A and B are shown apart, each in its own frame.
Chain A
Amino acid sequence: MDFTLPQYDPFRMLPEIFMLLWALWVFTYDLITKRQKEAAVGYMALIGPAVPLLFIVFYLTGLLPESWRYGGSGFGAMFFNDTTAMFFKIVFLGAAIMAIGSSFGITKQKIVNHRGEFYGLLLFSTLGMMFLASSNELLTLYIGLELTTIPLFVLAAFFKDDKLSVEAGVKYFVIGAFSSALLLYGMSFLYGLSGTTGLVQMKMNMAVVFLSYRDIGVILLGGIVLLVAGVGFKLALPPFHQWAPDVYEGSPTPIAAFLSVGSKAAGLVAFGKIFVNGLMAFFGPEQAPNDWGMLVGLLAILAMVIGNVVAIRQTNIKRMLAYSSIAQAGYIMIGMVVLNEHGMASVAYYIFAYMFANMGAFAAVAIFEDQTGSCQIEDYKGLAKTSPVFAVSLSLFLLSLVGIPPLAGFLAKYKVFAAAISMATVDPSASWLYWLVGVGVLTAVFSLFYYANVMRLMFFSNEEPRHKITYSVPALCVLLLGLAGIVVFGIYAEPILKLVRTIPADFGLYIP
């Protein structure tokens, strides 16, 4: 047998290598300092995602020297830095920075023995997401997804004395293992059909099979169902969403935030790579009999309706945000089933805006929880009187999640709906997309109820507030970062929009 090493370029994995070494250093630092300094490990951990983030941003803005060719293939199809990879890495790293920044409170109060592990595992999870974003191949994709979720099982159960946290960890673990099994089973079908694990090669091989037999069999349908269920669990898309509220409620708040943004974005990348890129030809009934677009569209409608309706009844703000994030996943999936040059671009912009708004909202919840120990919505009564900055920023985050102009969330929803309409007007067979848009607009209006309820309690309650919020420096920075994100990228979105415009090309949706 002839084994030759493929072309590889470690330079293009520099951010990943840095993250790995830095995570190891964070573990080591916590061990050798014997946990003396409380916040030092946290600041140390912040460097981990910050340096790669700056590196990628500098590369994209052209500030790096011309000779540093970061984009391109690092290891065949298994590691490829296209715009998609870099853009989603920015989202993952940003989510990691905001999660670490808002976790200084709990590492000071609750986590005494395992601070280094808390941050190090968070960095490992981010590392898995980064590998996932760069892979165009099923095996690396799967391993990246596993590296994303396995540290998160542990992080969800990090308060070992807290029954809710342990319950969250166990639930997330069982669901995570089960969904990974489904995903792997579905991937094995794809491998069996195409004889390759590379996504682009897979697309071509399956097209050849389809053209020569004029059918590809129900086996692909079985694979599609298994894959949708597997990724659906990770994305908390109904009917695979029941775990999300319990897990978000029980796990440490920064971890819940990271689950709802980082892990969700990772699931989206995996979904986009497998379905939009790998199974694109099997999207509509006229191209091939196995249609995944309608199936996913149905799940999106379920997500928007169930998420927004059930959120109204929640009294715990973390559970409310969990249902809200289920609904947000529904909006994102609208962009995912639009297979033209706008679809994936709107998905990317949506997740970017969602990252700032949702991480910010969870950071505010974390600040409140650190000081009061409560997550009940009614404890937010009258907060505007004592802590106006807190109340205003939390309100802005929630308004961005609703999609009120001029915040980034509005533009995100607009982009997704516009993408769906642009496809539906051109292609008559895609007219079912109008239904998605209709349900999306209705539920978005509906969602104002429960978001506005929190604002009403904070601003218009006559009761005397029970709490006054004081901020630690990192937590305040996270709040301001989130605010800056939703305001700046809502008003001046052109640089991001210009960047995301090239993303659909990475999925083979058009030739630039």
Chain B
Amino acid sequence: MTEYLAVLIFIFAGIGIVLFTFLLSRLLRPINPYHEKNINYECAENPIGTSWVKFNNRFYIFALIFVIFDVEVVFLFPWAVVFGQLGLYALVEMVIFIGILFFGIFYAWRKGALKWV
């Protein structure tokens, strides 16, 4: 458990440094907001619309496929740790596992879901 103490300290240090800099700049800078200062920076032009833009739909399919393979990677970790002890059949099992998932990539590819048009 103690090895995670470093992680904890690291997280708190990270949060602390950010908060500290914000606090410091708040104390040091002059506070004088007006309308032109508050609008979004758009290369000296007046901005059109909001700064929230709608993403392209295509990103979403990539994100979905990414999630599936992210889950697969989670299964790879424990396999990799014990692979040395287990030998050939563990390799075969993982090949089947990845093979079935690989069909998904083949499918997405042929379906044109990976094409950026």
Contact = CB atoms under 8 A, between A and B. Distances in A.
Complex A–B touching at CB under 8 A: yes
Contacts of B103: 24, 27
Given A5-B89, A24-B103, A31 B111 contact: yes
Interface in A5-62: 5, 20, 24, 27-28, 31-32
Interface string B66-85: 00000000000000001001
B107 A31 contact: yes
A3 interface: yes
B7 interface: no
A101 to B, nearest CB: 25
Nearest to B86: A3
A488 to B, nearest CB: 39
Contacts of A1: 85
Nearest to B103: A24
B107 to A, nearest CB: 6
B89 A27 contact: no
Interface string A247-287: 00000000000000000000000000000000000000000
B32 to A, nearest CB: 49
Interface in B57-113: 82, 85-86, 89, 100, 103, 107, 110-111
B107 A27 contact: yes
A31 B109 CA distance: 10
Contacts of A27: 103, 107
Nearest to B107: A27
B85 A3 contact: yes
Contacts of B100: 20
A93 B46 CA distance: 65
Nearest to B106: A28
Contacts of A28: 107
A27 B107 CA distance: 8
B110 A31 contact: yes
Contacts of B86: 3
A113 B101 CA distance: 22
Nearest to B93: A5
Contacts, number: 14
A27 B111 CA distance: 10
Most buried by B among A20, A28, A32: A28
A410 B82 CA distance: 57
Contacts of A20: 100
A161 to B, nearest CB: 16
A239 to B, nearest CB: 34
A31 B107 CA distance: 8
Contacts of A5: 89
Contacts of B110: 31-32
Interface in B28-75: none
Contacts of A32: 110
A426 B76 CA distance: 55
Most buried by A among B100, B103, B107: B107
A31 B100 CA distance: 17
Contact of A3 (B82, B107, B111): B82
A189 B22 CA distance: 47
B112 to A, nearest CB: 10
A124 B82 CA distance: 31
Nearest to A27: B107
Nearest to A2: B85
B94 to A, nearest CB: 14
Contacts of B111: 31
A28 B102 CA distance: 13
A46 B86 CA distance: 40
A53 B69 CA distance: 33
A73 B92 CA distance: 22
Nearest to A4: B86
A131 B57 CA distance: 36
A24 B103 CA distance: 8
B76 to A, nearest CB: 17
A31 B103 CA distance: 12
Nearest to B109: A31
B58 to A, nearest CB: 17
Interface string A464-497: 0000000000000000000000000000000000
A102 to B, nearest CB: 26
Nearest to B85: A3
A460 B102 CA distance: 58
A28 B103 CA distance: 9
B52 to A, nearest CB: 25
Contacts of A31: 107, 110-111
B2 to A, nearest CB: 24
Contacts of B107: 27-28, 31
A5 B88 CA distance: 12
A20 B103 CA distance: 12
A157 to B, nearest CB: 15
A20 B99 CA distance: 13
B110 to A, nearest CB: 5
A32 B111 CA distance: 10
Nearest to A114: B111
A70 B38 CA distance: 75
Nearest to A24: B103
A208 B85 CA distance: 36
Given A5-B89, A28-B107, A31-B107, 11 more contacts: A1-B85, A3-B82, A3-B85, A3-B86, A20-B100, A24-B103, A27-B103, A27-B107, A31-B110, A31-B111, A32-B110
8 contacts: A3-B82, A3-B85, A3-B86, A5-B89, A20-B100, A28-B107, A31-B107, A31-B110
Interface of A: 1, 3, 5, 20, 24, 27-28, 31-32
Closest 9 CB pairs of A and B: A31-B110, A24-B103, A27-B107, A5-B89, A3-B86, A31-B111, A3-B85, A31-B107, A3-B82
